[in-house]
Amino acid sequence: MAQETKPRTILIADDEPDILEIVSFNLQAEGYEVIVARNGNEAIEMSKIHNPDLIILDVMMPGKTGFEVCKILRTLPAFEHTVIIFLTALNDDSTEIKGLETGGDDYITKPISPKVLTSRVNALFRRITKETGSVLQIGDLKIDREKYIVTSNNEEITLARKEFELLALLTSKPSKVFLRNEILHKVWGTDVIVGDRTIDVHIRKIRQKLGADCITTVKGVGYKFQM
Amino acid sequence: MAQETKPRTILIADDEPDILEIVSFNLQAEGYEVIVARNGNEAIEMSKIHNPDLIILDVMMPGKTGFEVCKILRTLPAFEHTVIIFLTALNDDSTEIKGLETGGDDYITKPISPKVLTSRVNALFRRITKETGSVLQIGDLKIDREKYIVTSNNEEITLARKEFELLALLTSKPSKVFLRNEILHKVWGTDVIVGDRTIDVHIRKIRQKLGADCITTVKGVGYKFQM
DNA sequence: TCCAATATTAAAAAATTGTAAACAACCCCA
DNA sequence: TGGGGTTGTTTACAATTTTTTAATATTGGA
Cβ contacts of residue A42 below 8 Å, gap of 6+? A13, A63
- Kindly tell me the sign of the dihedral angle through the C-alpha atoms of B88, B94, B100, B104: negative
Nearest to B35 by CA among B18, B3, B16, B13: B13
Tell which strand D nucleotides have any atom below 7 Å from a protein Cβ: 6-13, 17-23, 28-29
pLDDT band at A47 (very low <50, low <70, confident <90, very high): very high
If you measure CA to C1', which residue is closest to nucleotide D10?
A: B195
Interface test with B, best of A86, A120, A172 (most B CBs within 10 A): A120
B146 touches chain A (CB under 8 A): no
Rg (CA), chain B: 19
8 A C-beta contact, residue B178 and residue B224:
yes
pLDDT band at B132 (very low <50, low <70, confident <90, very high): low
| A 33-92 residues inside an 8 A Cβ radius of B | 80-81, 83
pLDDT band at B172 (very low <50, low <70, confident <90, very high): confident
pLDDT at A212: 75
What is the average pLDDT across A175-186?
94
Q: To 10 degrees, the CA torsion angle through A170, A171, A173, A175?
A: 80
Alpha-carbon distance B147 to nearest alpha carbon in chain A (angstroms): 24
Percentage of residues in chain A having pLDDT higher than 90: 80
d(CA A109, CA A88): 5
Contacts of B122 in chain A (CB under 8 A): 100-101
pLDDT band at A158 (very low <50, low <70, confident <90, very high): very high
- Whether pLDDT at B3 is above 50: no
Contacts of B93 in chain A (CB under 8 A): 113, 115-116
Alpha-carbon distance A120 to nearest alpha carbon in chain B (angstroms): 7
What is the average pLDDT across A113-138?
89
In terms of CA atoms, which chain B residue is nearest residue A118? Answer: B97
- Whether pLDDT at A3 is above 50: no
Closest residue to A119, CB basis, from B101, B115, B116: B101
Which residue type is seen at A183? I
On the question of a cis peptide bond just before residue B52, with omega within 30 degrees of 0, the verdict is: no
pLDDT digits 0-9 by tens, B101-119:
999 999 999 888 999 999 9
On the question of a cis peptide bond just before residue A111, with omega within 30 degrees of 0, the verdict is: yes
In terms of CA atoms, which chain B residue is nearest residue A129? Answer: B81
Give this prediction's pTM: 0.79
What is the average pLDDT across B169-182?
92
pLDDT at A110: 83
Contacts of B177 in chain A (CB under 8 A): 146-148
d(CA A117, CA A202): 47
pLDDT band at B29 (very low <50, low <70, confident <90, very high): very high
8 A C-beta contact, residue A40 and residue A61:
yes
Alpha-carbon distance B102 to nearest alpha carbon in chain A (angstroms): 10
pLDDT digits 0-9 by tens, B57-75:
999 999 899 999 999 999 8
Count how many pairs of residues, chain A against chain B, have C-beta atoms within 8 Å: 74
Q: Point out the nucleotide closest to B221 (alpha carbon to C1′).
A: C16
Residue A5, classified by CB atoms within 10 Å of its CB into exposed (0-12), middle (13-18) or buried (19+), is: exposed
Residue A226, classified by CB atoms within 10 Å of its CB into exposed (0-12), middle (13-18) or buried (19+), is: middle
- Whether pLDDT at B1 is above 50: no
- Whether pLDDT at B163 is above 90: yes
Alpha-carbon distance A9 to nearest alpha carbon in chain B (angstroms): 19
If you measure CA to C1', which residue is closest to nucleotide D6?
A: B160
